[in-house]
Structure 1
Amino acid sequence: MSLIMSLMLFFSNINPAEALPSLIQKGKASFYSKKFNGRKTAYGERVSSESLEGAHLHLPLNTLVEVTNLDNQRSVIVRINDRGPFAKGRVIDLTLAAAHALGMVSKGIANVSLRVVGKGQAIAMSPSAFTTPIAFQPMLEPVM
């Protein structure tokens, strides 16, 4: 059922984060290797292994997503700031900090569920605006 809703949202002009704040998707998660640390994301930021961020193919950038490891029920909220994963069968790529929070580092991949919980405010891109992950905290607003 969630696959059908995801496809309907993908092919429509409706923003998924605004249309269904609790959209749920299940699949496999992986995390960025160390070689991606410092590279630019699709949002123009630098990948930081210490931030709680992730990559999703279709969700709008700056969407807040609760990721739950279905094997141990640990959850973390990440902000989508990149596109991917591009490996078959994966629904999200996470930073190392998010993978640690989910307890999936030793296995490398995990069965997860994704639930959209909010979105960040629109922000102007500038190199100095993203020096630390703390800079994002005032910009987050819940969507209910």
Structure 2
Amino acid sequence: METTTSIRHVLLILSCCACLGAQAQPQAEGDAPKAENKAETKKPAIDHSGKARKGKASYYADRFAGRKMADGTPMNPHANIAASRTLPLGTTARVTNLQNGKSEVVEIRDRGPYVDGRIVDLSPKVAEKLDIKEQGVAPVEVAPIKVPQPDGSVKLGAAATSDKTADTTGASDTTAQSSGY
């Protein structure tokens, strides 16, 4: 009888310790309230304005070749393609390396980059043409030429108004200017 009582006391003490220990543990970083996580992971708004932006460009590592991009196509390292967090998929844009003035026209087909300060990820081919591949990151200007709109239309961007060869739709520069540029 004495052994049974002792065992019950030990079990009661262990149960109390387990309950107190569970309450005293600090909240793990991954268990943060959902409201805080939403603010940190908020997606940037898609920019349909066609305005040029300056920032840093990086390029896709070779390991991404063939992987599915946001538009559903495989990443082709030999194509003039790029990723942007804010430009609509299907946007045609002129990317200019601000260190040497070299530029290439790309199509936005993926989302990224996900590093602060970077505004575009380029295919290895484009990075090589712009002399970005060796250094890995460079300051660039991304000037949209044609920007798909939510209603299905296409708006001429900043580069279309300064580069007449970029306008293959037959619209004149005055059309682009009258629509807010």
Higher relative contact order (CA 8 A, sep 6+): 1
How many Å separate the matches in 2 of 1:141 and 1:88? Answer: 34
Q: Aligned letter for 1:66?
A: R
TM-score (normalizing by structure 1): 0.70
Q: Aligned letter for 1:90?
A: R
More helix by share: 2
How many Å separate the matches in 1 of 2:66 and 2:168? Answer: 26
Give how far 1:58 is off. Answer: 1.2
Q: Aligned letter for 1:118?
A: K
Q: Deviations over 1:56-86 (max 9, x none)?
A: 0011100001000000000001000000000
Tell me the residue number matched to 2:79. 51
How many Å separate the matches in 1 of 2:132 and 2:102? Answer: 10
**CA RMSD, aligned part only?**
2.1
Q: Which aligned runs of 4 or more in structure 1 are off by greater than 4 angstroms?
A: 140-144
How many Å separate the matches in 2 of 1:78 and 1:40? Answer: 18
How many Å separate the matches in 2 of 1:119 and 1:53? Answer: 15
Do residues 106 (structure 1) and 129 (structure 2) align?
A: no
Q: Aligned letter for 2:83?
A: A
Structure 2: 5+ residue runs without aligned partners? 1-44, 153-166, 177-181
How many Å separate the matches in 1 of 2:146 and 2:126? Answer: 17
Give how far 1:89 is off. Answer: 1.2
Tell me the residue number matched to 1:71. 99
Give how far 1:141 is off. Answer: 5.0
Contact 1:68–1:74 under 8 Å retained in 2: yes
Give how far 1:111 is off. Answer: 0.3
Q: Aligned letter for 1:69?
A: N
The 5 Å alignment of 1:1-144 reads 10=45, 16=48, 19-20=49-50, 23-119=51-147, 141-142=168-169, 144=176
Q: Aligned letter for 1:62?
A: G
Q: Deviations over 1:25-46 (max 9, x none)?
A: 0000000001100000000000
Structure 1: 5+ residue runs without aligned partners? 1-9, 123-139
TM-score (normalizing by structure 2): 0.56
Give how far 1:119 is off. Answer: 4.5
More strand by share: 1
Q: Aligned letter for 1:73?
A: G
Give how far 1:101 is off. Answer: 1.3
Contact 1:118–1:141 under 8 Å retained in 2: no
